Amino acid sequence: MLSELFISVNYGEIVSVLGKSGVGKSTLLRTIMHDLPRQAHRSKGRILVDNQDIDVLASHEGFHGAVVSMVFQNPSQIFSPLRTIGQHVSDFLEAHHVTD
């Protein structure tokens, strides 16, 4: 359970959430991405992206990936060992039309 959490990320910043297994990293990020399982819910509070409530933003096509995204705990299943992380990030940004 999280209580009184405040995170501010400026445009263009990339943030990593690190910690031991089971401490809630995935739950935190799934909450931010509006991707909790049906039986889970946010009991109170708000999540704002560009001063807009996540509950409204998440209903728009393109929100996931273009506005917020996450790399799950086993990146070896996602990333090719033949390419650098920089190449993967560059491909991702290009695919989502991020120019800055």
Q: Give me the pLDDT at residue 35, please.
A: 78
User: Percentage of the chain with pLDDT > 70?
Assistant: 82
Q: Give me the pLDDT at residue 61, please.
A: 60
Q: Give me the pLDDT at residue 73, please.
A: 66
8 CB neighbour count, 10 Å cutoff: 7
Mean predicted confidence (pLDDT) in 79-90: 87
Distances (CA, A) of 90 to 71, 73, 84, 93: 14, 20, 10, 5
Which residues are within 8 A (CB) of 70 and not within 5 positions of it... i.e. 6 or more apart? 29, 30, 33
* Average confidence score pLDDT of the chain: 78
Domain boundaries, the chain: 25-72
pLDDT tens string 18-56: 888 888 888 888 888 777 787 877 777 888 877 778 777
Q: Give me the pLDDT at residue 55, please.
A: 75
pTM of the model: 0.58
